[in-house]
Structure 1
């Protein structure tokens, strides 16, 4: 799970990094994160971070760059899912096969729940009340109003 979450967050970060922006990725929600830097990328990793990740997406850049950044997380999850599906078609030893299948379903759900435009309910833990990537894209494009927006 942490690898799939990191890849998803790197998907968000890549368009911003390619335009020279600094990006911070946080894996986990604890306060005891270890910091790693790679160029303009700052990684904050909490031990046992599992399935929680956030990438900072700059709001003072073009709307197009923001949209691409929001979309690239789910796109990377979908590509990972397809790759794992193709890998699952091979006969692998039991443990690798289990890990590939687990990763396949995790990235499928990761893609779906980040692409579907919604605000996350309470059972999404650290994401509660936050807009999904798909929701943020539609809000940026003016196709949906954000929470608290005047109607």
Structure 2
């Protein structure tokens, strides 16, 4: 039987596995919805991989949610329709929106952790707050992700795309 800290650890892991994909979806929808606002293109937000369940929202937004996302709750990305590059402003806005949504989620989850019983706060909300803080830091750091980062290996972070747009540097 689990007691004390081992029970909290099990709930920590369950919270990340169950809620992580939805936090990733919120981050990707931040990118996609901002893209809808600043461009006339179609956008696809993906959590897991592209072989998931597809939901079209209007004529320009598609959400793909793969059941496998619960095995890798951190993987998500957004795609923009069209071959031409986005404007500088659109690039900055779209790439900043995902981390901003994750930061707002972290603040909301921290408030929830503070307002609940210590056990629920520590077991359920704190790991989600930490996950969102990591998400903000990892996506705003202006880097190219290393090969060992699974589906993100070799991709540019949101922060790197923002810096490139501000400096007017060409993309990949």
TM-score, normalization by structure 2: 0.76
CA RMSD of aligned residues (A): 2.1
Contact 2:113 2:120 (C-alpha < 8 Å) held by counterparts: no
Cα deviation digits, residues 15-62 of structure 1 (max 9, x gap): 222244311011113x53221111121111211212110111465442
How far off is 1:88 after superposition? Answer: 1.1
| SS in structure 2 of the partner of residue 129 of structure 1 | coil
**Structure with higher helix content:** 2
2:42 is aligned, of 17, 22, 42, to 22
CA distance in 1, matches of 2:100, 2:137: 10
Contact 2:147 2:153 (C-alpha < 8 Å) held by counterparts: yes
How far off is 1:94 after superposition? Answer: 3.8
Aligned residues: 146
| Cα pair distance change 1:66/1:145, threshold 3 Å | closer
Which deviates the most, 90-99 or 120-129? Answer: 90-99
Structure 2 residues without counterparts, runs of 5 or longer: 1-19
CA distance in 2, matches of 1:44, 1:105: 25
How far off is 1:123 after superposition? Answer: 2.7
